[in-house]
A and B are shown apart, each in its own frame.
Chain A
């Protein structure tokens, strides 16, 4: 351990003196000199030793074993105060005193008060948790159970060194991917389970499809499909030619039938007929392309049929007869026209140009029939006499003759004209009938074409669709590889991530081993029964102590023969607790803000035979290191008189180190504890230069005077 390593800039290396006022068994004010490397407190139970230790623990760590802070106040007072004159070791010298006071009316918690007090003295502690701080420095025999990480609900040493964030555990749960060799047992989180299920479902589906196609190919081999396609295509080409009948814009059908050619042709037909592909799928993947071709051509045929039918609806068939009648009628017209080559001109000769006036013939007829009467008409007005004269000049019989002559010349011509008009009407009608008769044949032709095309296209669809499906299957098989690779890559990534998470969440074995060795080294100073060491430490997740954002973990202690903490005797548990405390204190020293160890009633954990071993450890901690930061100020209390005296002998400090004995001799409710304080002189402290070597030689000489002989 590097005592000058990273850590608090100020470290409390010594409690020079401690003042206690109205705290637990200390009514009134008491000031106790503690300025020594090791302070031994002795005296019977109930004389204030534990109150002294608890006061020091509260001042250093903010922790109280009492359930409520008020219980710490002496029953005759309403507040308490603990203060210490301290020695600081650090780059900057900080305050030389530390204190904490509490009264019943204060709103702040003891922990908050402690934190403030400490922060103003040595800066904010790296370990904030009071309870953990207390377990790192204070042993209390009557609360030995609370000294172990595995039994506390608070933070632990592991939580400081290797905190496990809850998100990491959540990620571990979700991405977990464990496969054990035995029976292929798997422990999978949601992600791997989902992906495996997905892949399995795919494989099942793919397998079914493969079987389906293999069966189909067995029954209908590929070469036969190709043959059938080409045969039906050959039948399609003339039907198609008949359908388009030389119309512009229709695509040329490919000579060879394969999916690529047919697809291209179909797309061109669709464009020509104004059809579009369905929104789902591409030109290549559109599964109903054959159906689209069929429906497209059918629609074109239907369109043509509809148009032709409309024509045919107004007519009757038998065009040949109509044509003959048409020819006859035309010949009759020709014959008339030959007889009266200038018929229309001749008919116009005696017609009046002016509108509303009669032609010449009726004029003659009118004169022949009426002129005699008109001439006899009495005329009184002079100016009409001229009309009468003219009428009297007309010969009625001559007028009649003219009318007759004109009628004989005009009548055959007028009749010829009427006949021509009649024949022409007849021709129009016959032409219409002839046209209708011809449309009816077209309908029959189109109907037959539709039927043939339908049969052909359906025949074409079967091998073509099959070919397309098989081609789609082959393409799908290629895509499957992509899916497999993708899902397997993802699973592989999850497996790696899961292993990484497990690895980083798993105990820091190096740390665990160091810590185990530390505990064991301290523990082995006790004279242990067999099967305790070597110890094992197990990883323990304390679910009951899980924090909001962090999973609490600790090590659980197991002895060589598999006994856990709960299986140990009281003495063994106490020995284990002392060892764990010393080990933790040393392990985490660089993060602690003080170098104090408190051991209340610790001799209970010891047999007489352990005393020497433990004394050596405390001597090393209290007297050993050259630098103050490397040493501990050790406070030990004991109520066992014999053991205390023996301990006292064993802890006598060497030259340059110091020890104090505080002997509690009585207690009363008003004044609290009575105690005597002693400074224990270091051994050899009075020796002058050279005397140590002389004493040592004396010792060597004396050794050879007994039953043992110098060699």
Chain B
């Protein structure tokens, strides 16, 4: 199951089974999630009525009070968890560059809330879902993304070179050359580099070239 699909199980729902959404003047808490790891809220800006200017400062104040309040209420109910807010840049673009840059600043410099919660601003809605999943999942997101690597060894290197150096044309001479070089590399590997096998191989090649030139087969 995709991690994002797994988000549903952490979604807070009311007794009627509907997911909980809240609104304030400048922000909407679109979804609220809770797991053993944390409480996380997906926040979106609320379009102001009667074409009033959307307030960056007002929105930050609402974000601050809401997330602190959420943490406080959770503690009161003995559901102690860190609290995280997550939003998408895309949702704030419609309020202009200044507003967007301001929101970005909330995510970059978080001194303003003194660690009462944390806030992530992601690129788009997809990233928001990924972040929420990563935060809420009981196992760290990175665990799923890492497959055990097989350590490389001498055999791996030799086999790789053997396979990748194969001649394209299968002529007797090419095969002979290939085999002799690979044998020399094998000797070098076996001797841990303390061998003149490659030099000997080259001398053999140079001598063979002379002999071909002289017509000695």
A271 to chain B, nearest CB (A): 24
Q: With A160-B151, A489-B174, A521-B141 in contact, is A616–B84 under 8 Å at CB?
A: yes
Q: With A2-B148, A695-B79 in contact, is A586–B143 under 8 Å at CB?
A: yes
Most buried by B among A2, A615, A699: A699
Total A-B residue contacts, Cβ distance less than 8 Å: 275
Q: Is the CB of A195 within 8 A of B192?
A: no
B153 to chain A, nearest CB (A): 8
Q: Is the CB of A527 within 8 A of B108?
A: yes
Q: Is the CB of B208 within 8 A of A486?
A: yes
Q: With A493-B165, A503-B160, A612-B82 in contact, is A518–B110 under 8 Å at CB?
A: no
Across-interface contacts of A514 in B (CB, < 8 A): 145-147
Partner of A620, one of B65, B138, B198, B213: B138
Across-interface contacts of A702 in B (CB, < 8 A): 73, 76
**Smallest CB gap from B143: residue in A:** A1
Judged by a CB distance under 8 angstroms, whether A170 is at the interface is: yes
Across-interface contacts of B34 in A (CB, < 8 A): 696
Partner of B192, one of A165, A499, A616: A165
Q: With A2-B147, A493-B174 in contact, is A708–B23 under 8 Å at CB?
A: yes
Q: Is the CB of A583 within 8 A of B142?
A: yes
Judged by a CB distance under 8 angstroms, whether B5 is at the interface is: no
**Smallest CB gap from A7: residue in B:** B148
A175 to chain B, nearest CB (A): 7
CA distance A652 to B145 in the complex (A): 27
Q: Is the CB of B151 within 8 A of A616?
A: no
Q: Is the CB of A527 within 8 A of B205?
A: no
Stretch of B13-21, B47-55, B92-100 that contacts chain A? B13-21
For window 665-711 of A, CB contacts with B under 8 Å fall at 683-684, 686-687, 692, 695-700, 702-704, 706-711
CA distance A175 to B188 in the complex (A): 13
Q: Is the CB of B82 within 8 A of A167?
A: no
B interface residue count range (under 10 / 10 to 19 / 20 to 34 / 35 or more):
35 or more
Q: Is the CB of B212 within 8 A of A608?
A: no
Q: With A479-B213, A620-B137 in contact, is A711–B28 under 8 Å at CB?
A: yes
Q: With A612-B118, A652-B80 in contact, is A517–B145 under 8 Å at CB?
A: yes
Judged by a CB distance under 8 angstroms, whether A246 is at the interface is: no
CA distance A73 to B92 in the complex (A): 60
Across-interface contacts of A504 in B (CB, < 8 A): 156-157, 160-161, 164
Partner of B142, one of A170, A191, A521: A521
Q: Is the CB of B189 within 8 A of A500?
A: no
CA distance A657 to B153 in the complex (A): 41
Q: Is the CB of A165 within 8 A of B193?
A: yes
Judged by a CB distance under 8 angstroms, whether A569 is at the interface is: no
Partner of B82, one of A161, A486, A616: A616
**Smallest CB gap from A5: residue in B:** B148
Partner of B202, one of A160, A194, A285, A700: A194
Partner of B114, one of A492, A501, A608, A615: A608
**Smallest CB gap from B39: residue in A:** A699
Partner of A699, one of B36, B77, B145, B174: B77
B118 to chain A, nearest CB (A): 4
CA distance A479 to B215 in the complex (A): 7
CA distance A514 to B149 in the complex (A): 10
Q: Is the CB of B145 within 8 A of A708?
A: no
Q: Is the CB of A163 within 8 A of B28?
A: no
Q: Is the CB of A530 within 8 A of B181?
A: no
Across-interface contacts of A620 in B (CB, < 8 A): 37, 137-140
A208 to chain B, nearest CB (A): 15
Across-interface contacts of B36 in A (CB, < 8 A): 619, 623-624, 654-655, 657
CA distance A503 to B21 in the complex (A): 54
Across-interface contacts of A529 in B (CB, < 8 A): 108-109
A496 to chain B, nearest CB (A): 4
Judged by a CB distance under 8 angstroms, whether A146 is at the interface is: no
CA distance A499 to B208 in the complex (A): 24
Q: With A527-B110, A529-B108, A625-B138 in contact, is A696–B12 under 8 Å at CB?
A: yes
B164 to chain A, nearest CB (A): 3
**Smallest CB gap from B195: residue in A:** A167
Partner of A624, one of B73, B138, B185, B213: B138
The 8 A CB mask of B124-150 against A (1 = contact, 0 = none) is 000000000011011111111111110
Judged by a CB distance under 8 angstroms, whether A536 is at the interface is: no
Judged by a CB distance under 8 angstroms, whether A639 is at the interface is: no
CA distance A492 to B171 in the complex (A): 13
Across-interface contacts of A116 in B (CB, < 8 A): none
Q: With A530-B108, A624-B138, A683-B80 in contact, is A163–B193 under 8 Å at CB?
A: no
A195 to chain B, nearest CB (A): 7
CA distance A530 to B156 in the complex (A): 41
Q: Is the CB of B24 within 8 A of A707?
A: yes
Across-interface contacts of B77 in A (CB, < 8 A): 695-696, 698-699
Q: With A493-B174, A711-B22 in contact, is A609–B111 under 8 Å at CB?
A: yes
The 8 A CB mask of B184-212 against A (1 = contact, 0 = none) is 01001101110000110010011011001
CA distance A619 to B35 in the complex (A): 11
Q: Which 9 A-B pairs have the closest CB atoms?
A: A609-B110, A500-B164, A167-B193, A608-B115, A654-B36, A612-B118, A624-B138, A683-B80, A711-B21
Residues of A within 8 A of B (CB): 1-2, 5-6, 160-163, 165-171, 174-175, 190-191, 194-195, 198, 202, 285, 475-476, 479-480, 482-483, 485-487, 489-490, 492-494, 496-497, 499-501, 503-505, 508, 511, 514, 517-518, 521-522, 527-530, 548-549, 582-583, 586-587, 590, 607-613, 615-617, 619-621, 623-626, 630, 646, 649-650, 652, 654-655, 657, 683-684, 686-687, 692, 695-700, 702-704, 706-711
7 interchain pairs, CB-CB under 8 A: A6-B148, A493-B178, A607-B110, A612-B117, A624-B138, A625-B138, A707-B65
